[in-house]
Chain A
Amino acid sequence: MIEVENLSKYYDGFCAVNRIDFSVQKGEIVGLLGPNGAGKTSTLRMLTGYLSPTSGNIRVKEYSIRDDALKIKHLMGYLPESAPLYRAMLVYDYLDFVARIRGLDEDKAKNRIRALSELCGLTEIMHFSIGELSRGLRQRVGLAHAMMSDPEILILDEPTSGLDPNQIVEIRDIIRRAAKEKTIILSTHILSEAEATCDRVIIIHRGKIVADDDTRTLSEISGLDQVVTLALRHAPAEAAAERLKGIDGVLDVQETGKIDSETLVLKVRCREGSDPREAIYKSVKETDWVLLELHQETQNLETIFRELTRED
């Protein structure tokens, strides 16, 4: 569906996007992840034809961004970061304007605006001017704007940034409802966001792609070991470490601190893919120590992200 080939963008000598390649299949939801200034917005702006690439090319279906930008724009709906819309216009007028530019005829435009106002929850605010709306509401108007022509590809730049947790859930719901049969690329610097909505995650750092994989695979095969944390009361540190190291799958035991003089906190590094929690419990049960806490720390995207984008 979308092929990005060797794409670069320089601003007055500053390299924002550095020779990136990726492709997106039809129906995928791809998250573009990276710290601020990583080149996410520049990449999306080039995808949508707002900026022209310094070098490289983007193909959408059979069209190339250099020759058929207009045809590509017809296939795409785009919501820029923080939804910069005309503040003086009423919500209805704005959606009507977008429908007109998108070339919808009168009846179709009316039906589409009605459907979108229900999908995005705008029915109550159609007669407000956009400048009066809160950020969350404005973002929803922006989503309706992007989905006006029912485009095959939806590109959303930080769709949930600056929103409160309830609004984030709402926006995510709208995206998920709209996601059927659509290809979506969204950028975010919030990791839980990408984990919650995306099939695939592309992590960008300083204009380069540092990881590109399924969300699930990325969390599983991260090259990082599983860590189990446990708190033991009445256990001498050395004896406890000795005992735990004897369990199958355990690589290393580290004392990380004490809750009080009696209680020891230990971090147990385990082999990848193993789950020795049951064995640990049984082993501790044989002694007269008291097990206060036992939990496995999931290696989520957060850890991977920090690992990959660490400044050396």
Chain B
Amino acid sequence: MRPLIGIAGKELKDYFVSPIAYIVISVFLLVTGWIFFTTFFLFNQADMRNFFNLLPMTFSFVIPAVTMRLFSEELSVGSLETLLTLPVRFSDVVMGKFVAAVLFTAAILAPTLAYPVVISLLGDLDWGPVVGGYAGALLLGASFCAIGLLASALTRNQIIAFILGAVICFSLTVIDKMLFFFPDSLLGVIAYLGAGTHFENIAKGVIDSRDLLYFFSVTFIGLYAATLAMQER
């Protein structure tokens, strides 16, 4: 347990001592804030549905940017050798980095908590979907972090890691909106694979075990594959 906490702490600190954290957070706030609030007053409704609808799309680019360096950098500098010859398990390393990435995702979301506060002053805000939305955002963030981590474990080039991660996350986001490309027999499976619908369900405030199971499985598969990829080296 101790190595895991040590690694997570180190990675989280790395985010905040370098400018990456502040750049990613600002870009995220700028993009979501702008898109959300330009139409917010036109709808004239005190809810955050549009903000959460946007999240899978923005996350599929922001999160791979957060996770791209986690393994690629270690591979290119060679520090993985110093890390793995310390008394740690592969799972400690992968989990430590994953926990750090998820905490950082939470840090990205934290400033947006100002939105519901402001909106509740403007009108009657239903807090249920807001809480559900943030819970869903964390689940979605965690599964994308796992995917990003896998992409990072596959290559020593950070740019490739970013593009690979973004492509997988983006495909999961849009796949259930492209169902007309697929044969009827596959529709059920493909629809289930889409991250967007599962997230929207939770963001409506409906906690369904199928949606939870989806996010847990994606996270687990991503992390397990990342562990295997590391072990293979």
A101 touches B18 (CB 8 A): no
Which residue, of B3, B84, B86, has the highest number of chain A Cβ atoms within 10 A? B86
A and B contact pairs by CB, cutoff 8 A, 9 listed: A49-B85, A73-B86, A82-B78, A86-B79, A87-B77, A97-B10, A100-B6, A101-B6, A101-B86
B84 touches A74 (CB 8 A): no
Chain B 60-90 interface residues, beta-carbon cutoff 8 Å to A: 77-79, 81-82, 84-89
Give the residues in chain A near B86, CB-CB below 8 Å. 73, 98, 101-102
Per-position binary interface string of chain A over residues 49-82, scored 1 when its CB falls under 8 Å from any chain B CB and 0 otherwise: 1100000000000000000001001101010101
CB-contact partner of B2 in A80, A83, A86, A103, under 8 A: A103
Chain B 88-118 interface residues, beta-carbon cutoff 8 Å to A: 88-89
Q: Does B13 contact A (CB under 8 A)?
A: yes
Give the residues in chain B near A86, CB-CB below 8 Å. 14, 77, 79
Total cross-chain contacts (CB, 8 A): 63
A101 touches B81 (CB 8 A): no
CB-contact partner of A84 in B10, B13, B14, B81, under 8 A: B81
B77 touches A45 (CB 8 A): no
Q: How far is the CA of A83 from the CA of B77 in the complex (A)?
A: 10
Give the residues in chain B near A88, CB-CB below 8 Å. 14, 17-18
Interface size class of B (residues with CB under 8 A): 20 to 34
Give the residues in chain A near B77, CB-CB below 8 Å. 84, 86-87
Q: Does B146 contact A (CB under 8 A)?
A: no
B82 touches A85 (CB 8 A): yes
Name the CB-closest residue of A to B79: A84
Chain A residues with a Cβ under 8 A of chain B: 45, 48-50, 70, 73-74, 76, 78, 80, 82-89, 93, 97-98, 100-103, 142, 145
Name the CB-closest residue of B to A86: B79
Give the residues in chain B near A78, CB-CB below 8 Å. 82, 85
CB distance from B40 to the nearest CB of A (A): 39
Give the residues in chain B near A100, CB-CB below 8 Å. 2-3, 5-6, 9
Q: Does B151 contact A (CB under 8 A)?
A: no
Give the residues in chain B near A48, CB-CB below 8 Å. 85
Give the residues in chain B near A142, CB-CB below 8 Å. 82
Which residue, of A45, A76, A97, A101, has the highest number of chain B Cβ atoms within 10 A? A101
